[in-house]
């Protein structure tokens, strides 16, 4: 009860801090050039050493167990019971309080198992019919190559929790934090007494402060007792993760990290997000929205050309990798056979404009925060705003193919462009 009350109290403190930050960003300052330098952390050797020590302890530990409570300003709380053992053992039990229903994610040498005791909760991938059909005696099994799968991503994609953990438990097994390569800097924020533990506070910003994390690191073992993350989209999102009952190198029995489907249960394969997208042969909905250059962008203006419509956000690492390549492709086009249209949804306008300017992106890009843009996203089957999302649309404005994710040289892309009537070589 003490942990729960502490979490809710901290969430209220964070909400007040965010209100002040929102006032500073949206009322006082007028451009990214004025506010971003203050938000971006400049590297401080002492703070960087604390961060490196945390990653070193995690890397050298043979096993780890802890409880974490993840919360946000809305007061909702998720409880995680985590047991980790190298080289690949992982068990994470999730409860969305005040419910008592437990979701268990367990990784062994080959698979990630997700299962429930009794009736499972209603998930983000469900509709009423699917839930009624699969609510009991089911489990999910995924391939889980060591160092390549992510427990946090599974929790987020299935909607298993109100808030997924800030620190991905599978980084304990060597999976690189995807934001590691995009750290702006690490700076110190003093010390703080959490309970009876003295903690050093460090602040880490990523991608020009599009994402900020604060760590309260115990001086006793150099591991977190609290983590706060702020993500600056069109709205500012915040969550807090508080660690307790932390044990380094506990004895973990083999049976704690093994599981077999009980008799009478059946494997469930949840529907993927692509099933909600427009299918080949359907007409792509027309739209007229504002571009990053404050000019109208109309899909109907490009009838007669093949259109590559690319939905993206600044906080998505695959999007950041894809956009420079798309810009290079745009510059190579000598005619209007293929038109690239970017569609940014959900970002703070100033962050998105600054990113486009700094990345020298010149192909037309929708940057429109209006409710009409939300409706367009929904008409393309992407109400959740998941990115990156590619639509290939032919000269008659019919959908050729659509999918999430982006990989340069993807055979699916080449096949879609060929079906649209283009020579795919070079794409």
Task: Write out pLDDT tens, residues 204-256.
Answer: 999 999 999 999 999 999 999 999 999 998 889 999 999 999 999 999 999 99
| Whether residue 342 sits in one domain with residue 264 | no
326 found inside a domain: yes
The phi and psi torsions of 89 (rounded to 5 degrees) equal -70, 135
Number of folded domains in the chain?
A: 2
| Whether residue 109 sits in one domain with residue 19 | yes
- Closest Cα to residue 235, out of 10, 15, 9? 15
pLDDT, residue 333, reads 79
| Whether residue 143 sits in one domain with residue 82 | yes
pLDDT, residue 408, reads 74
Distance CA(162)–CA(154), nearest Å, equals 13
253, 270, 287 — which closes off a domain?
270
pLDDT, residue 5, reads 52
Distance CA(331)–CA(354), nearest Å, equals 20
425 found inside a domain: no
| Whether residue 195 sits in one domain with residue 331 | no
Sign, Cα dihedral of 346, 349, 351, 357? positive
261 found inside a domain: yes
The structure's pTM equals: 0.87
pLDDT, residue 148, reads 78
Q: What is the DSSP string of 167-190?
A: S-GGGGGTPPPTTGGGEEEEEEEE
Listed as ranges, residues in the chain with pLDDT below 70 are 1-36, 334, 424-427
**Direct distance between the N- and C-terminal alpha carbons of the chain, in angstroms, rounded to an integer:** 57
424 found inside a domain: no
| Whether residue 380 sits in one domain with residue 312 | yes
| Whether residue 282 sits in one domain with residue 242 | no
Contact 385, 346 (CB under 8 A): yes
Distance CA(409)–CA(402), nearest Å, equals 16
pLDDT, residue 424, reads 65
| Whether residue 194 sits in one domain with residue 55 | yes
Identify the CATH number of the domain in which residue 143 sits.
Answer: 2.50.20.10
Q: What is the DSSP string of 37-102?
A: HHHSPPP-HHHHHHHHHHHHHHHH-SEEEEEEEEE-TT--EEEEEEEEETTTEEEEEEEEET---E
426 found inside a domain: no
Residue 142, beta-bridge partner list? 112
Helix (H) or strand (E) holding 2: helix 2-23
Q: Edge-to-edge, what's the strand order for the sheet holding 211-218?
A: 183-194, 197-206, 211-218, 224-232, 236-248, 63-71, 77-85, 89-97, 102-107, 111-116, 138-143, 266-267
What's the domain range around 254?
A: 2-270
pLDDT, residue 145, reads 82
325 found inside a domain: yes
| Whether residue 126 sits in one domain with residue 165 | yes
pLDDT, residue 34, reads 52
pLDDT, residue 420, reads 95
331 found inside a domain: yes
User: Residue 129: CB partners within 8 Å, gap ≥ 6?
Assistant: none
342 found inside a domain: yes
208, 242, 270 — which closes off a domain?
270
Hey, what are 278's tokens?
Answer: 């427009």
Residue 90, beta-bridge partner list? 84, 107
252, 270, 288 — which closes off a domain?
270
Hey, what are 114's tokens?
Answer: 């997700």
């Amino acid at each position: 009860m003490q942990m729960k009350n502490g979490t809710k109290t901290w969430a209220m403190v964070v909400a007040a801090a965010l209100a002040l930050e929102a006032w500073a960003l949206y009322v006082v300052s007028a451009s990214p050039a004025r506010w971003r330098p203050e938000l971006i952390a400049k590297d401080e050797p002492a703070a960087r050493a604390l961060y490196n020590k945390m990653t070193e302890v995690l890397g050298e530990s043979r096993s780890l167990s802890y409880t974490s409570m993840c919360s946000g300003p809305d007061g909702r709380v998720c409880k995680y019971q985590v047991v980790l053992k190298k080289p690949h053992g992982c068990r994470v039990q999730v409860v969305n309080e005040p419910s008592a229903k437990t979701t268990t994610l367990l990784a062994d040498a080959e698979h990630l198992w997700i299962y429930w005791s009794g009736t499972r909760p209603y998930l983000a991938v469900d509709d009423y019919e699917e839930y009624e059909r699969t609510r009991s005696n089911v489990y999910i099994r995924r391939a889980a190559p060591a160092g390549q799968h992510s427990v946090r991503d599974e929790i987020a994609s299935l909607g298993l929790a109100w808030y997924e953990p800030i620190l991905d438990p599978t980084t304990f097994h060597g999976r690189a934090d995807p934001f590691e390569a995009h750290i702006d800097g690490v700076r110190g924020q003093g010390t703080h007494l959490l309970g009876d533990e003295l903690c050093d506070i460090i602040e880490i910003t990523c991608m020009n402060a599009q994402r900020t994390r604060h760590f309260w690191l115990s001086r006793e073992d150099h591991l977190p007792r609290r983590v706060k993350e702020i993500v600056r989209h069109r709205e500012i999102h915040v969550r807090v993760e508080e660690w307790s009952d932390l044990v380094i190198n506990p004895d973990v029995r083999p049976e704690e990290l093994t599981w077999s489907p009980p008799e009478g249960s059946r494997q469930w394969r949840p529907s993927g997000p692509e099933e909600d997208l427009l299918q080949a042969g359907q007409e792509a909905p027309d739209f007229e929205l504002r571009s990053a250059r404050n000019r109208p962008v109309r899909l109907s203006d490009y009838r007669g050309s093949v259109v590559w419509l690319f939905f993206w956000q600044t906080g998505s690492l695959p999007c950041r990798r894809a956009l420079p390549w798309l810009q290079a492709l745009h510059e190579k086009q000598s005619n209007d056979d293929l038109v690239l249209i970017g569609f940014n949804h959900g970002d703070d306008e100033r962050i998105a404009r600054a990113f486009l300017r700094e990345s020298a992106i010149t192909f037309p890009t929708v940057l429109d925060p209006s409710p009409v843009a939300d409706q367009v996203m929904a008409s393309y089957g992407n109400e959740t705003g998941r990115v990156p999302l590619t639509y290939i649309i032919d000269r008659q404005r019919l959908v050729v193919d659509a999918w999430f994710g982006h990989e340069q040289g993807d055979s699916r892309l080449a096949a879609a462009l060929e079906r649209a009537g283009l020579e795919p070589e070079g794409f």
